[in-house]
């Protein structure tokens, strides 16, 4: 292990292996300041030039979570998500894997400016419902 | 394609015999060809649990050396699990409807796949080198 890797043991470096279930799925994603961004609900995969599957993005939200559930709960969640969706597509929000710099107890992502809106429904509820309630401006959080 | 299309998928031998389901997916960082030091997360293979409901207690990614009751329990849970490198996957069929399991067909019979417990220590040494 190089000194740089020893200093930053969670930095993404060639050769490191991960269990999808243990190291990635349901882990929290934070920005470099430690501020929570989202959770890993699923991963988007694509074939590389050698025909191998690689992770291209983290998928976020109930639309991403639904296929991971089995049977009726999966179909129910997908149906509710379709009815509650405020975006024009049914695709889940995604965060490019290129932004993820560290994979440890949490995933750290260096987000570009303005790329902090992965919870579209939550943002809409805050702006249009919660934010208009009397006293909302005094909320501590 | 999504990871959810692999997790929990039924695994079949070339003859069509079901041998279990995908309990976990192992991914390894690979350097990109542009030599910038960047990496891509590539799927190396699948952990196949022998029983439909077995989840292998989340110890399917590394050997458990102790405490001994936990180590014994983990070894017992994973004793029939197999490691299927991606090269052994012949085809992958998505489910017909959401919530059903996908189907993965192998190129070889299950007996030609390594036992998960045998490859655990190889992964541990690779992780130490990385």
What is the domain partition of chain B in residue ranges? 3-119
What are the structural domains of chain A?
Answer: 3-136 (2.30.30.240)
Asked if the model's pLDDT at residue B80 lies above 80, the reply is: yes
Asked if the model's pLDDT at residue A66 lies above 60, the reply is: yes
Q: Nearest CA to B123 among A23, A6, A18?
A: A18
Say if A62 is an interface residue toward chain B (CB within 8 Å): no
Identify all chain A residues contacting B29, using CB atoms and an 8 Å cutoff.
12-17
Average confidence (pLDDT) over A52-67: 91
Asked if the model's pLDDT at residue A51 lies above 70, the reply is: yes
Average confidence (pLDDT) over A77-105: 84
Chain B window 8-27: which residues touch A at a Cβ cutoff of 8 Å? 8, 23-27
The pLDDT score that the predictor gives to residue A87 is 67
Nearest C-alpha of chain B: how many angstroms from A133? Answer: 38
**Does A17 contact B27 at a Cβ distance shorter than 8 Å?**
yes
The interface predicted TM-score (ipTM) is 0.85
The pLDDT score that the predictor gives to residue B67 is 81
Say if B44 is an interface residue toward chain A (CB within 8 Å): yes
Say if A110 is an interface residue toward chain B (CB within 8 Å): no
Say if B86 is an interface residue toward chain A (CB within 8 Å): yes
Average confidence (pLDDT) over B62-90: 84
Q: What is the pLDDT of residues B118-127, one digit of tens each?
A: 888 777 777 6
Per-chain mean pLDDT for chain A: 83
* Spatial contact of A62 and A25, defined as CB atoms under 8 Å apart: no
Nearest C-alpha of chain A: how many angstroms from B112? Answer: 22
Nearest to B29 among A14, A21, A78 (CB): A14
Q: How far is CA A91 from the centre of its chain?
A: 13
Q: What is the pLDDT of residues B10-25, one digit of tens each?
A: 999 999 999 999 999 9
The SS3 of residue A115 is coil
Output A136 or A93, whichever has higher pLDDT: A93
The pLDDT score that the predictor gives to residue A30 is 92
- CATH class belonging to B3-119: mainly beta
Band of pLDDT at residue B61, cut at 50, 70 and 90: low
CA A38 vs CA A6, A11, A57, A93, A120: distances in Å: 27, 19, 13, 10, 12
The pLDDT score that the predictor gives to residue A120 is 66
Output B78 or B105, whichever has higher pLDDT: B105
Nearest C-alpha of chain B: how many angstroms from A95? Answer: 14
Identify all chain B residues contacting A98, using CB atoms and an 8 Å cutoff.
38
Query: Cα–Cα distance between B118 and B5 in angstroms, integer?
Result: 26
Output B13 or A91, whichever has higher pLDDT: B13
Mean pLDDT lowest for which of A17-26, A82-91, A126-135, B66-75?
Answer: A82-91
Output A84 or A43, whichever has higher pLDDT: A43
């Amino acid at each position: 292990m190089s000194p740089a890797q020893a200093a930053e043991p969670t930095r993404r470096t060639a050769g490191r292996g991960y269990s999808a279930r243990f190291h990635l799925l349901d882990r929290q994603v934070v920005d470099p300041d430690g501020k929570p961004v989202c959770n890993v609900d699923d991963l988007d995969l694509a074939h590389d030039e050698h025909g191998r599957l690689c992770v291209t993005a983290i998928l976020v939200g109930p639309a991403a979570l639904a296929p991971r559930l089995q049977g009726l709960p999966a179909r129910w969640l997908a149906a509710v998500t379709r009815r509650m969706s405020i975006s024009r597509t049914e695709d889940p929000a995604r965060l490019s894997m290129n932004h993820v710099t560290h994979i440890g107890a949490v995933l750290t992502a260096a987000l570009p400016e303005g790329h902090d809106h992965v919870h579209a429904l939550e943002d809409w509820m805050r702006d249009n419902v919660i934010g208009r309630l009397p006293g909302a401006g005094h909320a501590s959080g | 394609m999504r990871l959810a299309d692999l997790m929990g998928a039924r695994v079949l031998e070339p003859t069509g015999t079901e041998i279990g389901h995908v309990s976990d997916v192992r991914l390894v960082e690979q350097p990109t060809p542009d030599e910038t030091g960047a990496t891509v997360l590539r799927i190396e293979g699948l952990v196949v649990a022998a029983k439909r409901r077995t989840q292998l207690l989340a110890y399917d990614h590394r050997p458990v050396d102790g405490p001994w009751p936990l180590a014994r329990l983990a070894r017992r849970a994973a004793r029939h699990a197999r490691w299927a490198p991606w090269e052994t996957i012949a085809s992958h069929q998505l489910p017909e409807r959401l919530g059903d399991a996908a189907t993965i067909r192998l190129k070889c019979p299950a007996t030609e796949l390594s036992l998960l417990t045998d490859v655990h220590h190889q992964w541990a040494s690779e992780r130490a080198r990385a």
